[in-house]
Structure 1
Amino acid sequence: MENDVTKIYKLISQKTYNNVTIGESQDVVEYFQDDNLIKFPYRIYYIDNSDIFLESLSEQQKMILHCIYSRSCDGYIRRKHLNSLLMMDYEDWTIPYIVKICDEYVVEILEMTYEILKEQDTERIKKFCLQNIESFCKGYNRMISYWNEYYRFRNKSFQKYIGRKLFRECFGYSRSMERSL
Protein backbone atom coordinates (compact mmCIF):
# COMPACT_ATOMS: atom_id res chain seq x y z
CA MET A 1 0.00 0.00 0.00
CA GLU A 2 2.96 2.30 0.54
CA ASN A 3 3.34 2.99 -3.20
CA ASP A 4 -0.34 3.87 -3.50
CA VAL A 5 -0.18 6.23 -0.50
CA THR A 6 2.91 7.89 -1.96
CA LYS A 7 1.18 8.34 -5.32
CA ILE A 8 -1.90 9.91 -3.71
CA TYR A 9 0.19 12.20 -1.52
CA LYS A 10 2.00 13.51 -4.60
CA LEU A 11 -1.34 14.22 -6.33
CA ILE A 12 -2.93 16.08 -3.42
CA SER A 13 -2.65 19.84 -3.64
CA GLN A 14 -0.22 21.33 -1.15
CA LYS A 15 -2.29 24.52 -1.08
CA THR A 16 -4.22 24.93 2.13
CA TYR A 17 -7.53 26.53 3.04
CA ASN A 18 -7.18 30.17 4.08
CA ASN A 19 -3.40 29.89 3.64
CA VAL A 20 -3.05 27.87 6.84
CA THR A 21 0.67 27.33 7.34
CA ILE A 22 0.39 23.61 8.08
CA GLY A 23 -1.11 20.87 5.95
CA GLU A 24 -1.89 18.51 8.82
CA SER A 25 -2.69 18.97 12.48
CA GLN A 26 -0.20 17.76 15.04
CA ASP A 27 -3.02 15.93 16.82
CA VAL A 28 -3.10 12.29 15.76
CA VAL A 29 -5.87 9.70 15.91
CA GLU A 30 -4.77 6.19 16.87
CA TYR A 31 -6.59 2.87 16.67
CA PHE A 32 -5.59 -0.77 16.64
CA GLN A 33 -6.78 -3.24 14.08
CA ASP A 34 -5.68 -6.86 14.15
CA ASP A 35 -2.50 -5.99 16.09
CA ASN A 36 -1.62 -3.14 13.72
CA LEU A 37 -1.46 0.47 14.87
CA ILE A 38 -3.35 2.82 12.56
CA LYS A 39 -2.47 6.50 12.92
CA PHE A 40 -3.70 9.49 10.97
CA PRO A 41 -3.91 13.25 11.47
CA TYR A 42 -6.94 14.59 13.26
CA ARG A 43 -7.34 17.25 10.53
CA ILE A 44 -5.83 18.12 7.19
CA TYR A 45 -5.99 21.58 5.65
CA TYR A 46 -5.19 20.77 2.03
CA ILE A 47 -7.61 22.01 -0.61
CA ASP A 48 -9.52 19.16 -2.27
CA ASN A 49 -8.29 18.90 -5.86
CA SER A 50 -9.25 15.25 -6.25
CA ASP A 51 -11.80 15.83 -9.02
CA ILE A 52 -8.86 16.42 -11.36
CA PHE A 53 -7.37 12.93 -10.97
CA LEU A 54 -9.91 10.72 -9.18
CA GLU A 55 -10.97 8.72 -12.24
CA SER A 56 -7.37 7.72 -13.00
CA LEU A 57 -6.97 5.93 -9.65
CA SER A 58 -7.34 2.26 -8.78
CA GLU A 59 -10.03 1.24 -6.28
CA GLN A 60 -7.49 1.00 -3.45
CA GLN A 61 -6.05 4.40 -4.34
CA LYS A 62 -9.56 5.87 -4.27
CA MET A 63 -10.12 4.41 -0.81
CA ILE A 64 -6.85 5.96 0.36
CA LEU A 65 -7.85 9.32 -1.08
CA HIS A 66 -11.32 9.20 0.50
CA CYS A 67 -9.82 8.31 3.88
CA ILE A 68 -7.33 11.18 3.69
CA TYR A 69 -10.00 13.72 2.80
CA SER A 70 -12.34 12.37 5.49
CA ARG A 71 -10.02 14.29 7.82
CA SER A 72 -10.45 17.62 5.98
CA CYS A 73 -11.07 20.81 7.92
CA ASP A 74 -14.06 21.38 5.61
CA GLY A 75 -17.15 19.42 6.67
CA TYR A 76 -18.54 19.37 3.12
CA ILE A 77 -15.34 17.74 1.89
CA ARG A 78 -15.42 15.20 4.75
CA ARG A 79 -19.02 14.33 3.90
CA LYS A 80 -18.33 14.02 0.16
CA HIS A 81 -15.41 11.64 0.64
CA LEU A 82 -17.03 9.58 3.37
CA ASN A 83 -20.08 9.13 1.15
CA SER A 84 -17.85 7.95 -1.71
CA LEU A 85 -16.01 5.57 0.62
CA LEU A 86 -19.23 4.11 2.03
CA MET A 87 -20.54 3.48 -1.49
CA MET A 88 -17.48 1.36 -2.28
CA ASP A 89 -16.72 -2.16 -1.19
CA TYR A 90 -14.45 -0.62 1.44
CA GLU A 91 -11.70 -2.64 3.07
CA ASP A 92 -11.26 -3.19 6.81
CA TRP A 93 -8.36 -0.75 7.07
CA THR A 94 -10.77 2.11 6.18
CA ILE A 95 -13.05 1.43 9.17
CA PRO A 96 -11.11 3.66 11.62
CA TYR A 97 -11.76 6.63 9.32
CA ILE A 98 -15.46 5.82 9.14
CA VAL A 99 -15.83 5.46 12.91
CA LYS A 100 -13.77 8.55 13.77
CA ILE A 101 -15.72 10.95 11.57
CA CYS A 102 -18.93 9.90 13.33
CA ASP A 103 -17.91 11.28 16.73
CA GLU A 104 -17.68 14.78 15.29
CA TYR A 105 -20.17 17.63 15.18
CA VAL A 106 -21.61 17.57 11.64
CA VAL A 107 -25.03 15.95 12.04
CA GLU A 108 -25.49 15.68 8.27
CA ILE A 109 -22.54 13.27 8.21
CA LEU A 110 -24.19 11.15 10.90
CA GLU A 111 -27.48 11.13 8.99
CA MET A 112 -25.83 10.15 5.71
CA THR A 113 -23.70 7.46 7.36
CA TYR A 114 -26.67 5.94 9.14
CA GLU A 115 -28.77 5.90 5.98
CA ILE A 116 -26.04 3.98 4.14
CA LEU A 117 -24.91 1.64 6.93
CA LYS A 118 -28.37 0.65 8.16
CA GLU A 119 -28.72 -1.35 4.93
CA GLN A 120 -25.31 -3.04 5.27
CA ASP A 121 -23.84 -5.82 7.36
CA THR A 122 -21.73 -3.87 9.85
CA GLU A 123 -20.18 -6.80 11.74
CA ARG A 124 -16.68 -5.75 10.62
CA ILE A 125 -17.25 -2.28 12.06
CA LYS A 126 -18.64 -3.72 15.30
CA LYS A 127 -15.58 -5.97 15.63
CA PHE A 128 -13.30 -2.97 15.12
CA CYS A 129 -15.18 -0.97 17.78
CA LEU A 130 -14.81 -3.83 20.26
CA GLN A 131 -11.06 -3.96 19.55
CA ASN A 132 -10.86 -0.24 20.34
CA ILE A 133 -13.41 -0.14 23.13
CA GLU A 134 -11.82 2.70 25.12
CA SER A 135 -11.45 5.03 22.10
CA PHE A 136 -14.86 3.97 20.82
CA CYS A 137 -16.59 4.77 24.12
CA LYS A 138 -14.82 8.15 24.23
CA GLY A 139 -16.11 8.76 20.70
CA TYR A 140 -19.63 7.84 21.77
CA ASN A 141 -19.42 10.29 24.66
CA ARG A 142 -18.01 12.94 22.37
CA MET A 143 -20.94 12.45 20.00
CA ILE A 144 -23.32 12.92 22.97
CA SER A 145 -21.50 16.10 23.92
CA TYR A 146 -22.00 17.54 20.42
CA TRP A 147 -25.67 16.58 20.51
CA ASN A 148 -26.01 18.36 23.84
CA GLU A 149 -24.23 21.48 22.61
CA TYR A 150 -25.55 21.86 19.06
CA TYR A 151 -28.55 19.62 18.38
CA ARG A 152 -30.49 19.21 21.60
CA PHE A 153 -32.80 22.11 20.67
CA ARG A 154 -34.10 20.26 17.61
CA ASN A 155 -33.72 16.70 18.94
CA LYS A 156 -34.96 16.97 22.51
CA SER A 157 -34.84 13.21 23.06
CA PHE A 158 -31.37 11.73 22.87
CA GLN A 159 -33.08 8.34 22.48
CA LYS A 160 -34.21 9.43 18.99
CA TYR A 161 -31.00 11.24 17.98
CA ILE A 162 -29.39 9.91 14.78
CA GLY A 163 -25.93 9.71 16.37
CA ARG A 164 -27.24 7.39 19.08
CA LYS A 165 -28.96 5.21 16.47
CA LEU A 166 -25.79 5.04 14.37
CA PHE A 167 -23.54 4.10 17.28
CA ARG A 168 -25.93 1.52 18.69
CA GLU A 169 -27.34 -0.10 15.57
CA CYS A 170 -24.41 0.11 13.16
CA PHE A 171 -21.36 0.28 15.45
CA GLY A 172 -22.62 -1.98 18.24
CA TYR A 173 -22.40 0.39 21.20
CA SER A 174 -23.91 -0.82 24.48
CA ARG A 175 -23.64 0.37 28.07
CA SER A 176 -21.88 -2.86 28.97
CA MET A 177 -18.93 -1.67 26.87
CA GLU A 178 -18.36 1.27 29.21
CA ARG A 179 -18.77 -0.93 32.28
CA SER A 180 -15.98 -3.18 31.01
CA LEU A 181 -13.43 -0.34 31.05
Structure 2
Amino acid sequence: MTRTALSALLLGLAALSGCVAPTGPVEVTRFHEPAALDQLGHGTIAVAAAPGGDPASLEIRTYLAAVSRQLGAIGYADGTADSADQVALVRVERSYYKPDRTRGPVSVGVGGATGGGWGSSVGMGLGIDLSGGPKDQVSTELSVQIRNRASDAVLWEGRSHFAVAADSPMADTQLGAAKLAEALFADFPGTSGETVEVK
Protein backbone atom coordinates (compact mmCIF):
# COMPACT_ATOMS: atom_id res chain seq x y z
CA MET A 1 0.00 0.00 0.00
CA THR A 2 1.79 3.16 -1.20
CA ARG A 3 1.85 6.49 0.55
CA THR A 4 0.06 7.95 -2.48
CA ALA A 5 -2.82 5.54 -1.98
CA LEU A 6 -2.86 6.37 1.72
CA SER A 7 -2.79 10.15 1.33
CA ALA A 8 -6.43 10.77 2.16
CA LEU A 9 -6.26 8.65 5.30
CA LEU A 10 -2.99 10.22 6.35
CA LEU A 11 -4.43 13.72 6.12
CA GLY A 12 -7.33 12.68 8.30
CA LEU A 13 -5.06 11.06 10.86
CA ALA A 14 -2.77 14.08 10.93
CA ALA A 15 -5.71 16.31 11.75
CA LEU A 16 -6.89 13.92 14.44
CA SER A 17 -3.51 13.54 16.12
CA GLY A 18 -3.74 17.01 17.61
CA CYS A 19 -7.16 16.45 19.14
CA VAL A 20 -7.05 12.88 20.41
CA ALA A 21 -9.33 12.42 23.38
CA PRO A 22 -7.60 11.71 26.71
CA THR A 23 -7.00 8.08 27.55
CA GLY A 24 -4.94 6.00 29.91
CA PRO A 25 -1.38 5.00 29.06
CA VAL A 26 -0.71 2.69 26.13
CA GLU A 27 1.23 -0.45 26.99
CA VAL A 28 4.10 -1.01 24.53
CA THR A 29 6.53 -3.93 24.12
CA ARG A 30 9.24 -4.16 21.45
CA PHE A 31 11.86 -6.71 20.40
CA HIS A 32 14.96 -6.51 18.20
CA GLU A 33 18.43 -7.97 17.84
CA PRO A 34 21.41 -5.64 18.40
CA ALA A 35 22.87 -6.72 15.06
CA ALA A 36 19.79 -5.40 13.26
CA LEU A 37 19.85 -1.90 14.74
CA ASP A 38 21.92 -0.37 11.93
CA GLN A 39 19.30 -1.51 9.40
CA LEU A 40 16.40 0.24 11.13
CA GLY A 41 14.98 3.71 10.58
CA HIS A 42 16.21 4.33 7.03
CA GLY A 43 15.81 3.03 3.48
CA THR A 44 12.55 2.15 1.79
CA ILE A 45 9.71 0.23 3.40
CA ALA A 46 6.37 -1.15 2.24
CA VAL A 47 3.45 -1.36 4.68
CA ALA A 48 1.07 -4.30 4.33
CA ALA A 49 -1.51 -6.26 6.28
CA ALA A 50 -0.11 -9.34 8.02
CA PRO A 51 -1.27 -12.73 6.71
CA GLY A 52 -4.90 -13.27 7.64
CA GLY A 53 -5.75 -9.57 7.60
CA ASP A 54 -8.06 -8.06 5.00
CA PRO A 55 -6.17 -5.21 3.27
CA ALA A 56 -9.44 -3.98 1.76
CA SER A 57 -11.17 -3.40 5.10
CA LEU A 58 -11.50 0.19 6.29
CA GLU A 59 -10.18 -0.71 9.74
CA ILE A 60 -6.98 -2.30 8.42
CA ARG A 61 -6.44 0.53 5.94
CA THR A 62 -6.74 3.05 8.76
CA TYR A 63 -4.06 1.25 10.79
CA LEU A 64 -1.83 0.85 7.73
CA ALA A 65 -2.04 4.61 7.21
CA ALA A 66 -1.22 5.33 10.86
CA VAL A 67 1.81 2.99 10.80
CA SER A 68 3.00 4.41 7.46
CA ARG A 69 2.87 7.91 8.88
CA GLN A 70 4.98 6.96 11.91
CA LEU A 71 7.52 5.08 9.78
CA GLY A 72 7.93 8.17 7.62
CA ALA A 73 8.46 10.27 10.74
CA ILE A 74 11.36 8.09 11.95
CA GLY A 75 13.20 8.19 8.62
CA TYR A 76 11.80 5.57 6.25
CA ALA A 77 10.85 6.34 2.65
CA ASP A 78 7.84 4.78 0.96
CA GLY A 79 8.48 1.69 -1.14
CA THR A 80 6.51 -0.94 -3.00
CA ALA A 81 6.05 -4.55 -1.92
CA ASP A 82 8.27 -5.88 -4.73
CA SER A 83 11.13 -3.39 -4.44
CA ALA A 84 11.31 -1.96 -0.90
CA ASP A 85 14.29 -2.74 1.33
CA GLN A 86 11.98 -3.74 4.17
CA VAL A 87 8.35 -4.68 4.75
CA ALA A 88 6.20 -3.74 7.76
CA LEU A 89 3.45 -6.29 8.44
CA VAL A 90 0.53 -4.91 10.44
CA ARG A 91 -1.96 -6.86 12.53
CA VAL A 92 -4.88 -5.49 14.56
CA GLU A 93 -6.91 -7.37 17.17
CA ARG A 94 -9.99 -5.90 18.85
CA SER A 95 -12.17 -7.56 21.47
CA TYR A 96 -15.16 -6.45 23.53
CA TYR A 97 -15.84 -7.52 27.12
CA LYS A 98 -17.75 -6.50 30.23
CA PRO A 99 -15.67 -6.05 33.41
CA ASP A 100 -16.80 -7.95 36.51
CA ARG A 101 -18.65 -5.90 39.12
CA THR A 102 -16.37 -5.58 42.15
CA ARG A 103 -19.24 -5.39 44.62
CA GLY A 104 -22.96 -6.06 44.69
CA PRO A 105 -25.54 -3.38 43.87
CA VAL A 106 -27.00 -3.54 47.42
CA SER A 107 -25.05 -3.14 50.66
CA VAL A 108 -26.29 -3.40 54.24
CA GLY A 109 -24.62 -2.01 57.34
CA VAL A 110 -25.57 -2.73 60.95
CA GLY A 111 -24.28 -0.85 64.00
CA GLY A 112 -24.99 -0.98 67.73
CA ALA A 113 -24.24 1.14 70.77
CA THR A 114 -24.60 0.80 74.53
CA GLY A 115 -24.62 3.50 77.17
CA GLY A 116 -23.97 3.13 80.87
CA GLY A 117 -27.40 2.85 82.46
CA TRP A 118 -29.17 4.32 79.45
CA GLY A 119 -29.93 1.14 77.53
CA SER A 120 -28.74 0.20 74.06
CA SER A 121 -29.59 1.01 70.44
CA VAL A 122 -29.22 -0.72 67.11
CA GLY A 123 -29.18 0.96 63.68
CA MET A 124 -29.22 -0.44 60.18
CA GLY A 125 -28.30 1.30 56.92
CA LEU A 126 -29.23 0.16 53.43
CA GLY A 127 -27.25 1.36 50.41
CA ILE A 128 -28.32 0.81 46.81
CA ASP A 129 -25.95 1.47 43.89
CA LEU A 130 -28.04 3.00 41.10
CA SER A 131 -25.13 3.57 38.73
CA GLY A 132 -25.69 0.30 36.88
CA GLY A 133 -23.05 -2.26 35.97
CA PRO A 134 -19.56 -1.54 34.60
CA LYS A 135 -19.45 -0.22 31.04
CA ASP A 136 -18.52 -2.50 28.18
CA GLN A 137 -14.83 -2.24 27.30
CA VAL A 138 -13.00 -2.54 24.00
CA SER A 139 -9.43 -3.84 23.97
CA THR A 140 -7.27 -3.05 20.93
CA GLU A 141 -3.79 -4.35 20.13
CA LEU A 142 -1.64 -3.17 17.23
CA SER A 143 1.25 -5.46 16.23
CA VAL A 144 3.91 -4.57 13.66
CA GLN A 145 6.76 -6.72 12.38
CA ILE A 146 9.53 -5.22 10.24
CA ARG A 147 11.26 -7.72 7.97
CA ASN A 148 14.10 -7.56 5.48
CA ARG A 149 12.29 -8.07 2.18
CA ALA A 150 15.08 -10.02 0.47
CA SER A 151 15.96 -12.42 3.31
CA ASP A 152 12.60 -12.34 5.16
CA ALA A 153 14.55 -11.98 8.41
CA VAL A 154 12.71 -10.26 11.26
CA LEU A 155 14.53 -7.04 12.16
CA TRP A 156 12.11 -5.56 14.68
CA GLU A 157 8.68 -6.28 16.12
CA GLY A 158 6.45 -4.59 18.60
CA ARG A 159 2.94 -4.30 19.93
CA SER A 160 0.91 -1.58 21.60
CA HIS A 161 -2.31 -2.07 23.53
CA PHE A 162 -5.00 -0.22 25.40
CA ALA A 163 -8.50 -0.86 26.73
CA VAL A 164 -11.16 1.86 26.94
CA ALA A 165 -14.90 2.08 27.46
CA ALA A 166 -16.75 1.01 24.32
CA ASP A 167 -18.50 4.40 24.17
CA SER A 168 -15.25 6.37 24.56
CA PRO A 169 -14.06 8.49 21.62
CA MET A 170 -10.80 6.51 21.78
CA ALA A 171 -12.70 3.35 20.81
CA ASP A 172 -13.13 4.96 17.39
CA THR A 173 -10.88 3.28 14.82
CA GLN A 174 -9.22 6.46 13.53
CA LEU A 175 -8.48 7.90 16.96
CA GLY A 176 -7.29 4.55 18.30
CA ALA A 177 -5.06 3.88 15.28
CA ALA A 178 -3.30 7.23 15.61
CA LYS A 179 -2.74 6.76 19.35
CA LEU A 180 -1.49 3.17 19.17
CA ALA A 181 0.86 3.79 16.23
CA GLU A 182 2.32 6.91 17.82
CA ALA A 183 2.99 5.06 21.08
CA LEU A 184 4.46 2.01 19.32
CA PHE A 185 7.09 4.03 17.46
CA ALA A 186 7.90 6.51 20.23
CA ASP A 187 11.67 6.45 20.93
CA PHE A 188 12.11 3.88 18.13
CA PRO A 189 13.45 1.20 18.21
CA GLY A 190 13.00 1.08 21.99
CA THR A 191 14.61 -1.24 24.53
CA SER A 192 14.24 -4.85 23.45
CA GLY A 193 12.02 -6.96 25.71
CA GLU A 194 10.94 -4.06 27.90
CA THR A 195 7.26 -3.24 28.43
CA VAL A 196 6.62 0.46 28.97
CA GLU A 197 3.58 2.68 29.36
CA VAL A 198 3.37 5.59 26.94
CA LYS A 199 1.02 8.43 27.86
Q: TM-score w.r.t. structure 1 length?
A: 0.21
Greater RCO structure (CA 8 Å; 6+ sep): 2
- Bigger Rg over Cα: 2
Q: TM-score w.r.t. structure 2 length?
A: 0.19
Structure 1 or 2: more helix by fraction: 1
